[in-house]
Amino acid sequence: MSEAGTPDGGLDFETLEAVLPRFTGAGPRYTSYPTVPVWKPSFPESDHARALSSCGRTGEVSLYAHIPFCRSLCHFCACNRVITRDSDLPERYLSAIGQEIQTTRSSVEGTPQCIQLHWGGGTPTHLKAGQIERLFRSMTDSFPLAPDAEVSIEVDPRVTDEDHVRALAECGFNRISLGVQDTNPDTQAAIHRIQPFELTRALTEMARNAGIPHINYDLVYGLPHQTEASFSRTITEVLSAEPDRIALYGYAHVTWVAKQQRGFERIDLPDPRLRIRILLQAIRQLVGAGYRFIGLDHFAKPDDELCEAFDSGTLRRNFMGYTTLDGVDTIAFGPSGISELPGAYVQAQKNLSDWFDRVEGGRLAPDRGIWLSRDDEMRRWIIRQIMCRGRLRASEVESRFGGSYQVDFEQAIDGLREIEKEGVLVLSPEGDLEVTSLGRLFLRNVAMAFDAYLEPAAEGGARVFSQTV
């Protein structure tokens, strides 16, 4: 991508405002390719074990744990979560995930080091401090933690206290992502998530004082009652706490997944034009404050590792969004966790009871999954080049995969020539592709040209993906 780091982000906001409405259809987020809706249901346990057996060939793995519990339901949320105040449930979960880690470990050959560890949810800090330490030990006893590993966790400031922070720091967590969403009280009331910004700021300071050096904030635009002015105040507050990274997600109205979102149709969701203006205003403020626009929805301070990964071509996109460390297998634990293994993706049972039944019986718990064909591997590589580097070279595709790029992707290139007219990318006569600074918001749309499954998936159920912008 060109000019990603210029102080104003290299963005021509007037043109962007004119172009944006033409790119507001539904599309995948490309945290995987092929995307989850086309994976096969009932992925066999023997296939899961086979994929695990060759993982960590590089001697390194990335580990993920999904902690599904939340104290209350945020009405915008489409995550896999279990709302509970039952204190016995996390205890049972900890024993079960310990068992799952053992079962998984016995399928993996050698002893790969963990160079990246991430906990998501749900709310990982729904666990008590002692439970956090237990889960951390379970994972790192089986997969030794590299001394310079990136160790990160998603936290909800409403339920995270000093004991949690101390436990996280002692375990060695070096990055925490705080769910903020929006600081406007009207929006917070509508999404059923009351979180005064002072709570967020206090947790940020507590984490820094405890020696956790890196702080991420997650924001959501397109929520009820948001206006340009209200979200601008949110961004101003957020900037005052100086997080290292900011993820700015578009609210995904996916009522077929998250039924509670239906309530929003009666209240004040911003219309598509306002949604776009809110987004543009937010980008303006963030790049104006010196954050680099990494692409799609991530912003980072110039000295953050994400910028280094972007510059060195090692930026990676997976189920955690944009991250560093390209090319490392990911092993996931917990219900709905997604593993990215050599030649395959596997997602665990989403339903907590089904997951308990499997892992407590000493079994792996695959639900959906897919073995990648050679064509899948090639398209995945191309889509990653677009999503993570904003560029593609025909000669690189051919030297990696053989064949003729221009012949094999004639249809995709023709489709791209159409959107080239909008100024979001530049194509050479050979089909080399460079996303412009304007096109950074439309990486999903560009990548969609190479998605071989998109039409069949849409026919099978048009309501599969969220809005691209």
In the complex, the residues that contact ligand SF4 under the rule CB under 6 A are: 70, 73-74, 77, 79, 81, 121-123, 156, 179
Residue at 265: amino acid letter? E
CB of 34 to ligand SF4, least distance (A): 25
CB of 79 to ligand SF4, least distance (A): 4
E-state strands within 156-271: 175-181, 214-221, 245-250
| Residues β-bridged to residue 401 | none
Q: How far apart are CA 96 and CA 357, in angstroms?
A: 9
Nearer to ligand SF4 among residue 74 and residue 446 (C-beta) = 74
CB of 161 to ligand SF4, least distance (A): 15
Q: How far apart are CA 391 and CA 448, in angstroms?
A: 14
| Residues β-bridged to residue 255 | none
Residue 311's region, left for phi above 0, alpha for psi from -120 to 50, else beta, is alpha
Residues 17, 21, 26, 32, CA torsion sign: negative
Q: Listing from the earlier edge strand, what are the strands of the sheet with 329-333?
A: 292-295, 298-300, 245-250, 214-221, 175-181, 145-155, 113-121, 60-67, 329-333, 338-341, 344-348, 366-371
Q: How far apart are CA 29 and CA 444, in angstroms?
A: 6
Nearer to ligand SF4 among residue 77 and residue 145 (C-beta) = 77
Tokens coding 136: 């951390």
CB of 156 to ligand SF4, least distance (A): 5
Q: How far apart are CA 412 and CA 384, in angstroms?
A: 15
Nearer to ligand SF4 among residue 81 and residue 368 (C-beta) = 81
Nearer to ligand SF4 among residue 333 and residue 450 (C-beta) = 333
CB of 189 to ligand SF4, least distance (A): 14
Q: How far apart are CA 159 and CA 414, in angstroms?
A: 51
Q: How far apart are CA 139 and CA 333, in angstroms?
A: 9
Q: How far apart are CA 54 and CA 58, in angstroms?
A: 10
Nearer to ligand SF4 among residue 99 and residue 195 (C-beta) = 195
CB of 219 to ligand SF4, least distance (A): 12
Nearer to ligand SF4 among residue 179 and residue 369 (C-beta) = 179
Q: Which residue has the tokens 């102080």?
A: 7
Alpha helices, DSSP H, located in 191-292: 197-209, 228-240, 272-288
Nearer to ligand SF4 among residue 309 and residue 320 (C-beta) = 320
Q: How far apart are CA 360 and CA 362, in angstroms?
A: 5
| Residues β-bridged to residue 299 | 246, 293
Q: How far apart are CA 120 and CA 177, in angstroms?
A: 9
Nearer to ligand SF4 among residue 124 and residue 439 (C-beta) = 124
Nearer to ligand SF4 among residue 77 and residue 448 (C-beta) = 77
Residue at 189: amino acid letter? A
Residue at 422: amino acid letter? E
Nearer to ligand SF4 among residue 81 and residue 317 (C-beta) = 81
Q: Are strands 145-155 and 69-70 parallel, antiparallel or unpaired?
A: unpaired
